[in-house]
Homo-oligomer: A and B are copies of this chain.
């Protein structure tokens, strides 16, 4: 929740609505989250809500956009940090994965859930543009991780035949799946350990140990 001071009153209310809504959506699904409960918790009226969002789908869109932006900036920061610690593409990626696992492991109550995954299991509830946003989100992550893997593959021979798109996707899959397992088992540590296993896989493929 970046610098509250710089946000106008309206923007603060809007962010508060989004915070409350996101938490509810991750536990009850989008359709299961009522506007009434959101406005009650936000301490506003229905009219106040509709001042900020034209309908429920508009809320879904804003929620997803904010989530994707946040994820993007988190990855950006971790990649930057990793790049500062090593020039080598493989070691930088391995450092990134370690940092990623640490961040995911340090969340006090475990990861609250991936909004994109939640939306995928409610796709028929949303307008086409929202559905395209989830698709595009996964495409971006694939492209992003793939870039890193390309640079690695250019310098390191791989021990086995591997499709780099699949290897890039696997990080998304392991993260999404790890979050589900963590939540379902109430074992917050599962997610970061799964990321570390993906790291072990990358290491085995390019270093052999």
Q: A27-35, A45-53, A71-79, A83-91: which one contacts chain B?
A: A27-35
Q: What 1/0 flags go to A181-209 for Cβ under 8 Å of B?
A: 10111100010011001001101110011
Alpha-carbon separation in the docked complex, A122 to B36 (Å): 18
Closest to A137 in B: B184
| A27-B200 contact given A135-B186, A209-B160, CB 8 Å threshold | no
CB-CB < 8 A to A162: which residues of B? 197, 200
Contact between chains at B26 and A121 (CB < 8 Å): yes
Contact between chains at A180 and B117 (CB < 8 Å): yes
Contact between chains at B163 and A173 (CB < 8 Å): no
Cβ < 8 Å to B, chain A residues 1-46: 26-32
Q: Is A120 an interface residue (CB 8 A)?
A: yes
Interface size class on chain A is 35 or more
Q: How far is the CB of A9 from chain B (nearest CB, A)?
A: 31
CB-CB < 8 A to A163: which residues of B? 193
Contact between chains at B181 and A173 (CB < 8 Å): yes
Contact between chains at A135 and B176 (CB < 8 Å): no
Contact between chains at B177 and A134 (CB < 8 Å): no
CB-CB < 8 A to A169: which residues of B? 181, 190, 193-194
**Chain copies in the assembled complex:** 2
- One of B32, B116, B139, B175 near A32 (C-beta < 8 A): B32
Q: What 1/0 flags go to A122-159 for Cβ under 8 Å of B?
A: 11110000000011011100000000000000000001
Q: Is A166 an interface residue (CB 8 A)?
A: yes
Contact between chains at B181 and A32 (CB < 8 Å): no
CB-CB < 8 A to A113: which residues of B? 121
Contact between chains at B138 and A184 (CB < 8 Å): yes
Residues of A that sit less than 8 Å from B by CB: 26-32, 113, 116-118, 120-125, 134-135, 137-139, 159-160, 162-163, 166-167, 169-170, 172-178, 180-181, 183-186, 190, 193-194, 197, 200-201, 203-205, 208-209
